[in-house]
Amino acid sequence: MKDMTYKNCIIGVVGAGAMGAGIAQVAVQNGIATIIYDAGDGAAVAAKANIAQRLSRLVEKGKLAEVDREAAEARLNVACSIEELAPCSVVIEAIIENLDAKASVFGALEQIVAADTILATNTSSLPIGAIAARLAHKSRVAGMHFFNPVPLMRLVEVIPGPDTTSAVTSQLVALAEKMGRTPVEVTDTPGFLVNFGGRAYPTEALAILQEKVAQPAQVDAVMRDCFGFRMGPFELMDLTGIDVNYPVSEFVHHAMFADPRFRSTSRHKYMLDTGQLGRKTGRGFFSYGEEAQTQSPDAVSSADSSPAVFVPEGHIAARELMRECGANVLDHDDGTAPILVTLIGEDCSAFAARTGTDAKRLVALDPLGDTSARVTLMTPPGAILEVLNGCIARIAPKRAVTVIGDSPGFIGQRIMAMVCNLGCEMAQMGLASPEGIDVAMRLGLNYPKGPLEMTDGLKGEIVYEILSKMQFLTGDDRYRPSQWLRRRAQLGLSASAV
């Protein structure tokens, strides 16, 4: 590297689209001279003008001083040819996701830049080793994956290839920090860290929908209200676009040799095939526009409130909730009252069969997550509807109620366990350090906590129990617990313990 301090460093950016322009903007805003180049006629000039407009808006909003705007603009130059990137200490490529195209750009750069110039790719999925394999000097090639929109997203994944030197990796980490980003070093794996780890949240929601356990609005409400996510998985998929999230899911599933933990659903592909892409087309899992009807996640009942319920011993959360809601909680089953239980990783059918409980009067409550604003209830097939409606009427004045079909793990347990499990599997695979995994998932996906932090919050032994029961009841290895999780759960250790 020409200058380890980056005080006199010049970086080049190849590709003047949204990502390339964003990278150039954060570089010049953080004191780094930048040259932007694009093979498209006038694209780099247009990108420079757009960056100037964004900087001016920051001044108008009071987020940037005028003198800093002027300095930032002065640091940005446009290259009319790729040869003008010769003085750069680092060149970051941000063109289309095509291996041949990227290798071609790097092949040209090798003939132009100095021997110690670092070549970094902003690829979101292509293997760094595959890009570097076609070059003469593989040791200076690495990934530097920014997230869109770059000026707002703080995370940068730094991905060394099989031949990348430790010095190159360290220098890119330092560059990311100089650019005001938070770098996380990640192993060269399909989807890297965030796109790989982000599969659990939407795909388990899709499985819930496919099984007719719950509707999109119900799933989203539970994950927001009870587990602290900013957006539910379905509104998130609609925002990013089915044409974006389905191909990523398919890519990771294929790259992992059809591991069922990454399996999507036929409904997901159907949405893509029928053009129901989300907000961009006005219809996805939800409809958008002035006349769109809003789905309600809340159950309502005009029935009389159940005056009494029977809560078996040990189901503490159900007992406390019903007492708060003013019900008479019976110590013994009177043969007519609703039977309210809390279940972990089990569905009502399995519980009734295992315990001999009267399934017709059985109502289950999810005890995990924050139940202060919303509770999730489910009943087995053949349950008496009046029993359920009486419980809804009793609880609804105190809490929003979501009623779903019988399912091991309800909604929240299923999705949270899968997010936690994949986080543990990433730690097992060594994709990043446990701390790095949590940081990347918080910053890259706006998760309320990282997956290993979530595991500790729910308790590792509980997550392990949920997954083990779900795997047994469904017969689906989709739910097989990560060995990282199993070992730490069995030993009573933190999920972050190494």
Determine which one of 122, 195, 389, 482 is catalytic: 195
Tokens 């409550």 -> residue: 365
The DSSP string of 239-261 is HH-HHHHHHHHHHHHHHTTT-GG
Question: Which of 89, 93, 122, 157 is labelled catalytic?
Answer: 157
Sole residue written with tokens 């730094």: 158
The three-point CA angle 197-199-203 to 5° equals 150
Q: How many Å apart are CA 33 and CA 164, to the nearest integer? A: 25
Residue 444 makes CB contacts below 8 A (sequence gap 6+) with: 147, 153, 155, 157, 193, 194, 198
Which listed residue (89, 124, 249, 264) is catalytic? 124
Residue 183 near residue 158 (C-beta atoms within 8 A): yes
Instruction: From 154, 151, 175, select the one nearest 51 (Cα to Cα).
Output: 151
CB 428 within 8 Å of CB 483: yes
Helix (H, G, I), strand (E, B) or coil at 417: helix
Q: Residue type for 118, please?
A: I
How many CB atoms within 10 Å of residue 190? 17
From CA 114, how far away is CA 116, in angstroms rounded?
Answer: 5
DSSP lists the bridge partners of residue 309 as 329
163: left (phi over 0), alpha (psi -120 to 50) or beta: alpha
402: enclosing H helix or E strand: strand 400-404
Residue 77 annotated in active site: no
User: How many Å apart are CA 470 and CA 112, to the nearest integer?
Assistant: 57
From 145, 253, 268, 315, active-site residue: 145
Distance CA 348, CA 102 (A): 53
Is 195 noted as a catalytic residue in this protein? yes
Q: Which residue numbers are catalytic?
A: 124, 145, 157, 195
